[in-house]
Amino acid sequence: MNTSCIVIPVYNNPTTIGDVVADALKTGATVIVVDDGSSPAVTLESESDQLYLLQHKLNAGKGEAILTGGKKARDLGFASFFIVDADGQHFPEEIENFADKNLGECIVIGCRRFAENVPTSSKFGRRFSNFWIWSETGLHLDDTQSGFRSYPVSVLELDLQRRRYDFEIEVLVKHVWNGGCIEEIEIEVYYPRPEERISHFHAFKDNMRLTKLHSRLVFKRWLHL
């Protein structure tokens, strides 16, 4: 079985997706782009036998896009898959730094080095999320909100109910509950100026989803202690 490939979930990132795909292909990895209902639909100028474009007719959420890409990776014979965001904040070449980690059945999170221009809300959100993950798993992690990750294809067998941003929390917790491990490795990220940022995170709706999810996960964990 091959080792790993790159999955890029994308939703309405027309100004960055081309460069992100081109940089991902430069690593020599197989690249799977999942268009999660973008309008207009994603088209790619890059041509490669190692490039696949999958499309959702309607926006189903980042979690659903990750699962779609992961299933394609599994079908292609890969044991794991990297997630690289389409907004240009992640550097695909950073996956080389994961080579020193024994990935195995671990989820590996790219722990972001926060620069001075990182929004205060992002710093608070990271600490808040880390606290909840500790409450749910007992693990002390530094960046549970980072989207730059490597997943073993075995996560596709977990009972995962969430399909939007809350998916990225649920998969960590249920992977640990299923006996899996989580590793972290430090990475660099690019934070554009506020006027250049494209974010599909809805402060109220997505934070409500996360709050409900954390409440349920904490309850389930303490119920079984």
Tens of pLDDT, residue by residue over 199-212, are 555 555 666 777 88
Query: Which domains are assigned to the chain?
Result: 2-223 (3.90.550.10)
Residue 67's nearest CA partner among 153, 184, 148, 173 is: 153
The per-residue pLDDT for range 17-54, each reduced to its tens digit, is 999 999 999 999 999 999 999 999 999 988 899 999 99
- How far, CA to CA in Å, does 40 sit from each of 2, 185, 197? 33, 35, 19
- Residue 214: the pLDDT is 78
Q: Rounded to whole angstroms, what are the CA distances from 191 to 9, 37, 89, 150?
A: 18, 25, 6, 21
Question: For the segment 156-198, what is each residue's pLDDT rounded down to a tens digit?
Answer: 999 999 988 899 999 999 999 999 999 999 998 886 655 555 5
pLDDT at res. 211:
80
* Across 205-221, average pLDDT: 79
User: Could you give the CA distance from residue 35 to residue 56 in angstroms, rounded to a whole number?
Assistant: 6
* Mean pLDDT computed over 1-12: 87
Specify the pairing of strand 149-152 against strand 78-83: antiparallel
Give the residue with greater pLDDT, 154 vs 120: 154
The DSSP secondary structure of 140-176, one letter per residue, reads: --S-TT---EEEEGGGGGS-----STTHHHHHHHHHH
